[in-house]
Structure 1
Amino acid sequence: MSDRIEVLKTYKTYVGGNFPRTESGRYYKVYDKDDNVLANACQCSRKDLRDAVVAAGDAQPGWNDRTAYNRGQILYRIAEMLETRKAQFIEELETIGYSNEEAEEEVNTSIDRLIYYAGWSDKYQQVFGTINPVASSHFNFSMPEPMGIVNIWAPEERPLLGLVSVMAPVIVGGNSCIILASEKYPLSAVSFAEVLNSSDVPGGVVNILTGYRDELLEHMTTHMDVNAFFYTDTTVDEEARKQIDENATLNLKRVIRKPIEDWLADDSQSPYFITDFQEIKTTWHPVGL
């Protein structure tokens, strides 16, 4: 009797609050720390990205209309749901080479980071907004407002903490996003999508794709309905950086690059990361009306 062949799971994407497979039907193999095939991940295409942008565009106005306090509540809920599934994420991280202590530290820091940004949800407006002195009989207010849709490359080597750290400051300020998960270690990102789906986050606010960066770089940086592109890896080569900057000029996307090497450090979280994805709106109002 021959040995049984294991049926490997093919992890789906997360778009618009649903879990579709890639429209291309393609997938690639994901390996564990011993180079054994662990699972299959969808190799997303331009069409998958376009679908995700549509979902993000539909969700963003309603998400922005939520009160800042409510957005903070939802981020806190994500942290609560992640807390209840710690064992799963620790095990997933161990399969790719983390020690038990390292995996537990990464999951705990991810939870704490969500709570950190949840706490800033209804405070950064007061810190970064202002009443401006003017020479006429008007009140003049400047307040931060979300940019809209943000495309994100999640860090390659921190598949959970890196993803949480780039997602939270974007969405807490009222933006929606499309995240391309770590190419090498995508499974924590797809599992995290299940956490999002059970955490009161409206469908389309966060969309998670898997696939090859080289293939999706042009599509993510040239899409005309996207307002910003965010990446952090120090491993992105000079040619790719040049392409990102040139493509962003097509519709004046804001490009935010944060070459953070230690996602466990205190300086890998900041309220200034929220304002990177905000625009300042100034309002005049006559005195006495």
Structure 2
Amino acid sequence: MCGTCGCGSEENGVTIQNPKDIKAHEHHHHDGHTHSHEHSHEGHTHSHDHSHTHDHDHSHTHDHHHKTVIDLEQDILQHNALMAARNKGYFEAKNIFALNLVSSPGSGKTSILEKTLSDLKDEKSFYVIEGDQQTLNDANRIDALNIPVIQINTGKGCHLESDMVYDAVKKLDIKENSILMIENVGNLVCPSMFDLGESKRVVIVSTTEGEDKPIKYPDMFHTSHICIINKIDLLPHLNINIDKLKEYALRVNPNLKFFEVSATTGEGMDAWYKWLKRKHELI
């Protein structure tokens, strides 16, 4: 268990799935009923619940509890860093430009990704890793664009880790000179601590979230390279000061680069595309 956020990949039922495999596993009955079984045989992951509870009352106290938690947290982050270095080496060897997309839930992260893929898929070779606690909803949206995608469901986990990404990358079989988009679990806290080996980290914040997100969640903005401000089409209806949002973000990270966009109308997306294509060509 992660001492920082209270979750851990080993005990929370992490699954890594290709949405095409799930669709192929659906059973169609003559009476018109359709159902699917969303357990992964390849990863030896089953969703059967064999939980039971023991009510043993151990009321003794361990004085070394806090030190144990800190040591465990350090071990987890160190292991993640080592695996992230492995990912980074792989990406660099194959000239893969990997982006880690992070945000709070509802910022429009998936919509920006969909719009980007739809507009650029004929120019660039894209692969996608989707991270959510449950469902294949986002992976299915990407699959509908005919983009190779793998869904990682983290169960109770609130972030992706570098070994999860490594396993997903092996399933994707990414070609050289490609762009890998990693959509992290919607959370502005724990993903900031877990390097995935990405080339750049992109934090997405929407106008509907208010202007103080960067100072409420400084670690995420401090560790990011790009800040996309989404839903600018809603500005006439909101009481938010975009300049103030940027000022707060620059207090945390003076090197942040901003893009103001609307995934709905397409406004501002060309500047984002120009940056993305230029960075990919430079790797």
TM-score by length of 2: 0.36
Name the TM-score, length of structure 1 as normaliser: 0.35
Which structure would you say has the larger RCO, counting Cα contacts within 8 Å and 6 or more residues apart? 1
